[in-house]
């Protein structure tokens, strides 16, 4: 037979037969009817006598709902209501439990067309930071029940639903039952229930209160076996508390001379399994003549237990102390009479579990408690991502947090930065922050905090940056003495608002103010005079083309410093001369063709605008005006331009190594860009973009950030190019403008595309796509992938938790895994659908610089063992190692 880990909700069918008796002690039971309204509602379920209550006190998110009324008569009450989670990727239930206690945890899911879409969903279920299982609902009234046995190592436990596709996760009921810690022992991990079977000719399921732990026992019988039963009570006191209906029945072979056989198949052929078999002799044996003794073997005759005799009317449980597996997922157990036996073998019940390895270590629990208290103190329950473990899985890390991930699996992740800027915080700065002892950076800017700068900040020895600006009620004047010493020693940077001291009415102060005012007026007049003289001088020679005039922007890495001087206008004949009549083509695009040229013994690139180009005179003029006024070592420099009737040209400094995309694809000599080089390019491109956003006045948005617009010189220094679509912002504080959508498909910010509202966060989105290309070397859009767009594909692939599944194989795993994780997390933050949740470019630059530093350290040999896995291989050396034990 084949047992599935999902039952189609047969256990809760209304026609199931249960004996109605007074409920036993349920004081440690947690029985949640998810989505039950009102939120303080409760009831006693009629068939099981279990008391259910609303889940509202255990979760901060989700919407209550009800299955279609057509289906309520078919099912028990605890699945009539449900809770769905249309918002957020991870939504978690939170429980306060007894540490180091073993629990049975069961989730039930019945779709029941609650949303009227007739679209059964699929999603993942997590226990803490580790994936428990995938939930797939096969039909409107086909439910799914998932059960596991798990030791809660801390006082907190999260059960999370994770969105994996287009459909919405939901849950009908969630139940937790304490178990005896001496049962269901494993060497590692938790246990996922595959089957729990007893033998009966009736279709009744056994559950609470026949089973005091509320385990669900499924009746099973095939035509090769028959059933024995008794009315005599069986002693079941052996930790496992096998219920009487299970203990009082047993399977024996239909043909007494044949062995008893039980077979099953595990869908996951790599799974490790634990099997628990329950036996009791339930026939009165004639001591003189009757003997029941048998050998148990499995999978082609391997010994499991020999010469076993069930005890009279007393349960004995046999289990394997070490996990076993089958190379093809098939298990077959044979129970065969020994030569001493006069009676055939029997079995009363058995349970099958597969091991769930808990590979993700939870975040340091003191820091988790601190974050929970911070969330409560400032009422941050509306932060959708602030659910479950703060740091792991990395893909679902809390918004505003950065974490460190030690290479040793024995060390938990730690929180190293906290960004709560613009989170509507009020009141004083909570001392819970001091419990985040590994913090390097904290940003509490742009809130409504009051009080003073707390003393506890000077005890946080790793802090490098504290941002308290934009809190008008906060007293910035008084800085704790030790904190001030760190500031004076350049160990720490404190960012706060400029404070104005109250003026006095003394005559001395008034005189001083008058003198200062006169002095300031003189300075202003002098500046105006100088500016006017410079303008007059420039007007005297409007056609000057002197290559050496003006100030040279120095850059030790620049390939064309000799010609990046004062920009100038060229005639078309001069363009023909410098390109040698356009003899050498560097590239072609929608704008036209780029040619190689020479000017004053320096190489240049000449972009000639095609008459049919989509980039018209307006874009040409915008790019000229932008590049005439911006200068940065990571923006391609404009040497000059040609505006001669129909002949429009831009003359740039020459970038010998082409664009980033060409180099990633190996079209520039075939050399693979190392991870360090990729990080250096990412940092430099980000610095160029950050300058456009914050260094320009007015600030600029590029609008076409992509790998083909990141060019490399002969030293592989990166520079951002192609500013024809760039737009500026006013300097009066406006953060976005409405404009016609422009950009490249795949890189285009979906929020900008949808609303036409452009902001610098649109560039951040595009740069996030560039980062994903740098990591994966995959096309941005590939219709042959299961997820065509690169950000969706990366998120989908990372559900396995293996970063290697997405990294460019050309790198041959020569990189720091933590660094790659950091870049991917940063990229996914950049491509967040909501622009408000994307980081700023200064933050992106800071994060990438940290990654580059990590990689440089690794290359220098200081982290040779940083990413090595400290995994221990588990194997079974001999049959004696896993010989089952009896209780």
- Domain 568-653, CATH class in plain words: alpha beta
Instruction: Name the active-site residue from 443, 659, 704, 722.
Output: 704
User: For position 737, what pLDDT does the model report?
Assistant: 53
Dihedral sign from CA coordinates of 725, 723, 718, 583: positive
DSSP class of 106: E
Q: Give tens-digit pLDDT for 531-561.
A: 455 444 444 333 333 222 222 233 333 333 3
Under 8 Å CB-to-CB from 714, ≥6 apart: which residues? Answer: 559, 656, 657
> Could you say which residues of the chain have pLDDT below 70?
1-24, 288, 498-567, 589-590, 611-616, 618, 724, 728-740, 861-887
Name the 3-class secondary structure at 584.
Answer: coil
Q: Does domain 198-358 have CATH number 2.60.120?
A: yes
β-bridge pairing 294-298 and 330-337: antiparallel
CATH fold of the domain at 396-495: 3.80.10
Contacts 24+ apart (CB under 8 A), 605-610: 605/651, 605/652, 605/653, 605/654, 605/655, 606/575, 606/578, 606/579, 606/649, 606/650, 606/651, 606/652, 607/649, 607/650, 607/651, 607/652, 608/575, 608/582, 608/647, 608/648, 608/649, 609/648, 609/649, 609/650
- Label each residue of 815-872 as H, E or C: CCHHHHHHHHHHHHHHCCCCHHHCCCHHHHHHHHHHHHHHHHHHHCCCCCCCCCCCCC
Name the residue among 257, 279, 447 with its Cα closest to residue 351: 279
- Mean pLDDT of all residues belonging to the chain: 84
Name the 3-class secondary structure at 118.
Answer: coil
Under 8 Å CB-to-CB from 386, ≥6 apart: which residues? Answer: 371, 375, 380, 398, 399
Name the 3-class secondary structure at 407.
Answer: coil
β-bridge pairing 30-33 and 51-54: parallel
User: For position 609, what pLDDT does the model report?
Assistant: 82
Exposure b/e, 127-138, CB count within 10 A at least 16 = b: bbbbbbbebebe
User: For position 757, what pLDDT does the model report?
Assistant: 84
User: For position 806, what pLDDT does the model report?
Assistant: 95
Under 8 Å CB-to-CB from 575, ≥6 apart: which residues? Answer: 597, 606, 608, 642, 647, 649, 651
β-bridge pairing 101-109 and 173-178: antiparallel
Name the residue among 244, 217, 241 with its Cα closest to residue 233: 244
| Residues making up the binding site for ATP | 607
User: For position 694, what pLDDT does the model report?
Assistant: 83
d(CA 519, CA 839) in angstroms, rounded, equals: 43
Domain ranges of the chain: 10-179, 198-358, 396-495, 568-653, 660-859
List 418's β-bridge partners, or say none: 401, 442
**205 phi, psi to nearest 5 deg:** -85, 150
Would you tell me how many other CB atoms lie within 10 Å of the CB of residue 360? 20
d(CA 220, CA 212) in angstroms, rounded, equals: 21
Q: Give tens-digit pLDDT for 598-615.
A: 988 889 999 888 765 545
CATH fold of the domain at 660-859: Transferase(Phosphotransferase); domain 1 (1.10.510)
DSSP class of 247: H
d(CA 355, CA 597) in angstroms, rounded, equals: 67
Contact of 394 with 90, CB cutoff 8 Å: no
pTM: 0.65
User: For position 525, what pLDDT does the model report?
Assistant: 53
User: For position 738, what pLDDT does the model report?
Assistant: 57
List 190's β-bridge partners, or say none: 356
Name the residue among 246, 317, 309 with its Cα closest to residue 281: 309
Active site residue 704: yes
Instruction: Tell me if 10-179 shares its fold with 198-358.
Output: yes
Query: Domain 10-179 is classified in which CATH homologous superfamily?
Result: Galactose-binding lectin (2.60.120.430)
């Amino acid at each position: 037979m084949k047992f599935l880990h999902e039952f189609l909700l047969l256990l809760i069918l209304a026609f199931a037969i249960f004996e109605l008796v007074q409920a036993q002690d349920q004081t440690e039971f947690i029985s949640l009817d998810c989505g039950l309204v009102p939120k303080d509602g409760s009831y006693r379920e009629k068939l099981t006598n279990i008391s259910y209550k609303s889940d509202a006190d255990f979760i901060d998110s989700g919407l209550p709902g009800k299955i279609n009324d057509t289906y309520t008569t078919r099912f028990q009450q605890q699945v009539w209501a449900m809770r769905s989670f249309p918002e957020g990727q991870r939504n978690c239930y939170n429980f306060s439990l007894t540490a180091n206690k073993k629990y049975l945890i069961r989730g039930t899911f019945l779709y029941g067309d609650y949303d009227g879409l007739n679209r059964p969903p699929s999603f993942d279920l997590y226990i803490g930071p580790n994936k428990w299982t995938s939930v797939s609902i096969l039909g409107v009234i086909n439910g799914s029940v998932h059960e596991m046995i798990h030791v809660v190592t801390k006082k907190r436990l999260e059960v999370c639903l994770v969105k994996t596709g287009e459909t919405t996760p939901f849950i009908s009921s969630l139940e937790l039952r304490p178990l005896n810690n001496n049962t269901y022992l494993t060497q590692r991990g938790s246990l996922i229930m595959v089957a729990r079977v007893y033998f009966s000719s009736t279709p009744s399921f056994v559950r609470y209160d026949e089973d005091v732990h509320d385990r669900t026992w499924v009746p099973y019988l095939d035509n090769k076996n028959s059933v024995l039963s008794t009315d005599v009570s069986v002693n079941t006191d052996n930790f496992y508390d096998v219920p009487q209906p299970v203990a009082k029945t047993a399977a024996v072979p239909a043909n007494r001379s044949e062995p008893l056989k039980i077979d099953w198949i595990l869908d996951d052929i790599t799974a490790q399994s634990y099997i628990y078999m329950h036996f009791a002799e339930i026939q009165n044996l004639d001591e003189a003549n009757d003997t029941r003794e048998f050998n148990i073997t499995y999978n082609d005759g391997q010994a499991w237990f020999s010469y076993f005799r069930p005890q009279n009317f007393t349960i004995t449980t046999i289990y394997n102390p070490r996990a076993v597996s089958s190379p093809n997922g098939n298990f077959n157990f044979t129970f065969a009479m020994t030569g001493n036996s006069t009676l055939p073998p029997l079995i009363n019940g058995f349970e099958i579990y597969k091991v769930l390895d808990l590979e993700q270590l939870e975040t340091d629990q003191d820091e988790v408690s601190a974050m929970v208290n911070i969330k409560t103190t400032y009422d941050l329950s509306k932060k959708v991502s602030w659910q479950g473990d703060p740091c792991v899985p990395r893909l679902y890390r809390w918004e505003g947090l950065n974490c460190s991930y030690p290479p040793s699996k024995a060390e938990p992740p730690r929180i190293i930065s906290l960004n709560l800027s613009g989170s509507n915080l009020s009141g004083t700065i909570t001392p819970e922050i001091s419990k985040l002892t590994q913090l390097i950076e904290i940003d509490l800017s742009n809130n409504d905090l009051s009080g003073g700068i707390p003393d506890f900040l000077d005890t946080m020895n790793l802090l490098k940056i504290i941002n308290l600006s934009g809190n008008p009620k906060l007293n910035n004047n008084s800085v704790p003495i030790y904190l001030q010493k760190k500031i004076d020693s350049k160990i720490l940077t404190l960012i706060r608002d400029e404070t104005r001291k109250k003026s006095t009415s003394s005559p001395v102060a008034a005189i001083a103010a008058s003198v200062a005012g006169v002095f300031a007026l003189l300075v202003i007049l002098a500046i105006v005079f100088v500016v006017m003289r410079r303008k007059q001088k420039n007007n005297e020679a409007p056609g000057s083309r002197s290559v050496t005039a003006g100030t040279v922007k120095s850059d030790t890495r620049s390939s064309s410093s000799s010609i990046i001087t004062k920009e100038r206008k060229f005639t078309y004949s001069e363009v023909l001369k410098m390109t040698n009549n356009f003899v050498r083509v560097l590239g072609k695009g929608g704008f036209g063709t780029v040619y190689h040229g020479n000017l004053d013994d320096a190489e240049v690139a000449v972009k000639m605008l095609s008459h049919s180009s989509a980039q018209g005179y307006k874009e040409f003029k915008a790019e000229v005006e932008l590049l005439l006024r911006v200068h940065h070592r990571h923006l391609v420099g404009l040497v000059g331009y040609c505006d001669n009737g129909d002949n429009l040209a831009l003359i740039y400094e020459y970038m010998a190594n082409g664009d980033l995309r060409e180099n990633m694809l190996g079209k520039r000599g075939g050399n693979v860009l190392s991870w360090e080089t990729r990080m250096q390019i990412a940092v430099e491109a980000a610095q160029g973009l950050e300058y456009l956003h914050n260094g320009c006045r007015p600030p600029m948005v590029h609008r076409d950030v992509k790998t083909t617009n990141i060019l490399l010189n002969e030293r592989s220094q990166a520079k951002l190019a192609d500013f024809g679509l760039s737009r500026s912002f006013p300097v009066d504080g406006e953060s976005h403008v409405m404009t016609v959508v422009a950009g490249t498909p795949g890189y285009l910010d979906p929020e900008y595309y949808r609303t036409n509202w452009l902001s610098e966060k649109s560039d951040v989105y595009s740069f996030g796509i560039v980062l994903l290309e740098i990591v994966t070397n995959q096309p941005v859009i590939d219709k042959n992938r299961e997820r065509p767009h690169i950000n969706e594909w990366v998120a989908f692939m990372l559900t396995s938790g293996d970063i290697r599944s997405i990294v460019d194989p050309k790198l041959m795993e020569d990189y720091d895994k933590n660094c790659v994780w950091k870049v991917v997390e940063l990229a996914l933050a950049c491509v967040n659908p909501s622009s408000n949740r994307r980081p700023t470019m200064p933050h992106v630059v800071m994060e990438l610089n940290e990654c580059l530093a990590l990689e440089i350290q690794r290359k220098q040999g200081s982290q040779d063992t940083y990413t090595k896995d400290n995994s221990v291989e588990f194997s079974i050396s001999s049959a004696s190692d896993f010989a089952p034990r009896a209780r």
